[in-house]
Amino acid sequence: MPSTSRASGPVPFAHWYTFAEGGPVHRARLPFPSEAPAPFEVARWSVAPGTSNDFDVHRSREVWVIVTGTGTLTWADQTTAVGAGDVVAFESQVPHQVRNDGPEPLLAISVYWLEDDLSG
């Protein structure tokens, strides 16, 4: 049986880019073999109090898990409050952004599908 030990376990994150006002974004390179890659990637990011992440719209579907903090989520033409423990999902091409309304950094994990794996 082939070993899967290198494709399992903790995933390291590295700096990817920084929002215009909100904070840093770190991306994880998943350790799965190239012949059997995952159809998604993960990132974690933070939004400082009183700021927002960049308004985003892209081809991929995306799921956010809010780890800490509170904020106002805007997507398409809707808004709602979000906080630690909330999970939100975005279909492709739906604009979305969160503004940190609280006193502590808002930290989120993002899971997004790879564009090459999307049809259409």
Give the separation between CA 64 and CA 12, rounded to whole angstroms.
Answer: 18
pLDDT in tens, 60-113: 999 999 999 999 999 999 999 999 999 999 999 999 999 999 999 999 999 998
Give the separation between CA 62 and CA 13, rounded to whole angstroms.
Answer: 18
If one counts every other C-beta atom within 10 angstroms of the C-beta of residue 96, the result is 20
Is residue 113 within 8 A of residue 61, CB to CB? The reply is yes
Which one, of 31, 68, 36, 64, lies nearest residue 49 by Cα? 68
Does pTM top 0.95 for this prediction? no
Give the separation between CA 64 and CA 7, rounded to whole angstroms.
Answer: 23
